[in-house]
Amino acid sequence: MGHLIANAWLRGLVHGALLITVLMTAVAWISWFERKFAARVQSRLGPTMVGPAGLLQPIADAFKMFQKEDIIPRGADSLLFRLAPPLTLFLSLATAAVLPIMPGMLASDLDIGVLYALAFSGLLAFPIWVAGWSSANKYALLGGMRMVAQGISYEIPMVLCALVPVVVTGSLSLSEIVKYQAAHHWLVFWPPGIGVIAFVLFFTTALAESNRIPFDIPEAESELVAGPTTEYTAIRFGLFASAEYAHSVVSCALASALFLGGWDGPVLPPSVWMLLKTAALFVIVTWVRWSLLRLRSDQLMALCWKYLVPVSLALVLGAGAWVYVVG
Amino acid sequence: MTAGGEALFAFCALVAVLSALGTVIVHSPIRAAMSLLAHIIALSGLFLLLHAQLLAALQMLVYAGAVVVLFVFVIMMIGPSVPEPPVLRGMVTKTAAIAIMVVLTAILAFSLMPVHMPDIALGPCLPGEGAECDQFGGVGAFSQSLFLDGLVPFELISVLLTVAIVGAIAVARGRSREEVAASQHKRDAQAKAAAEQGAREQAMAAEVSAHGGHG
């Protein structure tokens, strides 16, 4: 492996710090982008006052978050209540460790990168559920329960769809999967038909895992106030919000590494390609959010168990047959 | 083993022990479940130090992702306010428990004494050690033993689990109203048929006795 930094510990530290900095900065301005986008969809202007085109709004928001009063409800389990927000952010950032940004640059080139990413993103349901439970609030608890139910249901088709690239490339390492795509085909086109369905399903389940509309039934502000985060104020709420954005971005990056060739692309440097693909996917995420309606609980479960799970099982079988026949 | 590896081992081991204690000591069921989660994550850290990458990931996916979720659902169904059972343990039981614990800990400690640090956490492969060391604990080596050396028991276990799931569903599902009605209907029909049969036999018997047997 031609890593830029030889010592594994140092490499992990430097890349980790770099990744967290880049991700958190991106998250701040992604919130600006989303507000602007939403405003355009609804024929509004969005933030305009702070800085040119409202570009400094995220910084103002962060300061505001730090200044607000920090409230812990009297009936709350205060230890778990305090623990939940940083844990949520930690888990959504931890997934980024295995993302290949460019050749020879990733925090940790695990053999099992795909499994690692999926395991951490599957764990994310816990801190959010703990938040809902420890708030001692009915809306929060309901939201938390929905979060766990949705999280474990959608994890299954997500893992199965991520298995398609694994079966085709014969490796669980994300950097190996990207290298295969750079040498052969992007996996969204390969195997023909199966790849594109797997990509669409993976993207859909990733939306569900990161609680974005149309899968934001745990938050469902029109019925549950704000779901698990109802009782959170100030920077604790800010941590949840940034964790949600970070998770969305990491899921988009994961999807582009698994299916869209990662850093592979002509002319531009590899890291730019990776960023461009991730950004393009995130635009679609935002676009979907402001175009579609929220699914009901039962529709959500029916979609997962009646359609996504059987189809993704068939996809894994199809990919296996393809590898067996074509090679 | 490198200094970083030792530090990681110490950290994971400490977290694993503390969270295991927390799981059994803490009163709130939800905190106990969360300690269990922390314990599982610390264990998968220890697996990583032993070069068992796949095992570490599976530990996270299966135990943290599925088993703890199951506990969470059980806690939510029972609710947090279940009254604690009265403490029935007296001084004798407590003393005996502590004595047994001390003995077991001593046995464990003495049996672990000859184990050196390199056995607890593996260092990176030396240049001369070759491919076998490199692949140890990796996906390839793991699936080699799972799908080639141990294929038959592995498949048998999966069949066994499927049977267990089917059985559990059959037991837990109960019967729908239609099924209850259908079986009731069937039982009624059987009872009716039996009654008719009985009546017919009685009639025949009466006829036989009226005509005085073999006539």
What's CA B116's distance to the chain center, in Å?
A: 32
| Domain residue extents for chain B | 1-81
Task: Determine contact, residues A228/A147, Cβ cutoff 8 Å.
Answer: yes
Task: Determine contact, residues A224/A147, Cβ cutoff 8 Å.
Answer: no
Q: How confident is the model at residue A118 (pLDDT cuts 50, 70, 90)?
A: confident
Mean pLDDT of chain A: 84
Closest approach of chain A CAs to the CA of B166, in angstroms? 18
Give residue for tokens 């109203």.
B177
Q: What is the pLDDT of residues A217-264, one digit of tens each?
A: 777 777 777 778 888 888 888 888 888 888 888 889 889 888 888 787
Interface contact A172-B37, CB threshold 8 A? no
The DSSP call for residue A43 is T
Mean pLDDT of B196-210: 85
Kindly give, in sequence order, each residue whose CB lies less than 8 Å from that of residue A185, ignoring residues fewer than 6 positions away: none
Closest approach of chain A CAs to the CA of B65, in angstroms? 6
Evaluate if residue A8 carries a pLDDT over 60: yes
Closest approach of chain A CAs to the CA of B122, in angstroms? 15
Q: Name the residue among A80, A116, A126 with its Cβ closest to that of B57.
A: A116
pLDDT at A2 (0 to 100):
45
SS3 B126: coil
Alpha helix positions (H), A105-233: 113-123, 125-134, 138-169, 174-183, 194-209, 221-224
pTM above 0.80, yes or no: no
Hey, how many other C-beta atoms are within 10 angstroms of the C-beta on A102? Answer: 17
Contacts of A148 in chain B (CB under 8 A): 69, 72-73
CA atoms of A188 and A200, how far apart (whole Å):
9
Q: Which of residues 106-145 of A touch B (CB under 8 A)?
A: 110-112, 115-116, 118-120, 122-123, 125-126, 129-130, 133-134, 145
What's the fold here for domain B1-81?
Four Helix Bundle (Hemerythrin (Met), subunit A) (1.20.120)
A193 Rama class: left (phi>0) / alpha (psi -120 to 50) / beta: left
Nearest CA in chain A to B62: A119
CA atoms of A258 and A168, how far apart (whole Å):
11
Residue A105: strand pairing partners: A102
Contacts of A9 in chain B (CB under 8 A): 2, 4
Over pLDDT 90: what percentage of chain B?
Answer: 9
Question: What's the longest Cα–Cα distance across chain A?
Answer: 63
The DSSP call for residue A102 is B
Contacts of B73 in chain A (CB under 8 A): 148
Residue A308: strand pairing partners: none
Evaluate if residue B131 carries a pLDDT over 80: no
Evaluate if residue A311 carries a pLDDT over 90: yes
Q: Name the residue among A111, A125, A145 with its Cβ closest to that of B138.
A: A111
Helices A194-209 & A138-169, crossing angle to 10 degrees? 160
- For residue B187, count CB atoms less than 10 angstroms from its CB and return exposed for 0-12, middle for 13-18, buried for 19 or more: exposed
What does the CA dihedral A76, A82, A88, A94 come to, rounded to 10 degrees? -150
Over pLDDT 70: what percentage of chain A?
Answer: 95
Interface contact B68-A77, CB threshold 8 A? no
Q: How confident is the model at residue A13 (pLDDT cuts 50, 70, 90)?
A: confident
CA atoms of A257 and A175, how far apart (whole Å):
8
Evaluate if residue A1 carries a pLDDT over 50: no
Over pLDDT 70: what percentage of chain B?
Answer: 80
Phi, psi of A105 (to 5 degrees): -130, 100
SS3 A105: strand
Give residue for tokens 């996917």.
A281
| Domain residue extents for chain A | 67-325
Interface contact A77-B30, CB threshold 8 A? yes
C-alpha dist (Å) from residue A279 to A100, A109, A133, A187, A275: 15, 23, 34, 19, 6
Q: What is the pLDDT of residues B33-59, one digit of tens each?
A: 888 988 998 998 888 887 777 888 888
Interface contact A112-B28, CB threshold 8 A? no
CA atoms of A244 and A24, how far apart (whole Å):
11
Alpha helix positions (H), chain B: 3-25, 29-49, 53-58, 68-78, 91-112, 117-120, 130-135, 139-144, 151-173, 177-210
Interface test with A, best of B69, B134, B143, B144 (most A CBs within 10 A): B69
User: What is the SS3 string spanning A179-201?
Assistant: HHHHHCCCCCCCCCCHHHHHHHH
Interface contact A80-B30, CB threshold 8 A? yes
What's CA A313's distance to the chain center, in Å?
A: 22
Q: Does A13 touch chain B (CB under 8 A)?
A: no
Interface contact A115-B69, CB threshold 8 A? no
Q: What is the pLDDT of residues A178-226, one digit of tens each?
A: 888 888 878 777 788 888 899 999 999 988 887 777 777 777 777 777 7
In this structure, what token pair is assigned to residue A157? 């088709």
In this structure, what token pair is assigned to residue A283? 């635009």
- Measured on CA atoms in the order B204, B205, B207, B211, is the torsion positive or negative? positive
CA-only gyration radius of chain B, Å: 31
Q: Name the residue among B34, B57, B69 with its Cβ closest to that of A148.
A: B69
Contacts of A151 in chain B (CB under 8 A): 69
Closest approach of chain B CAs to the CA of A155, in angstroms? 9
Q: Does A155 touch chain B (CB under 8 A)?
A: yes
CA atoms of B129 and B152, how far apart (whole Å):
32
Evaluate if residue B213 carries a pLDDT over 60: no
Contacts of A124 in chain B (CB under 8 A): none
Chain B residues touching chain A at CB-CB below 8 Å:
2, 4, 28, 30-31, 34, 37, 53-54, 56-58, 60-61, 64-66, 68-69, 72-73, 76, 138-139
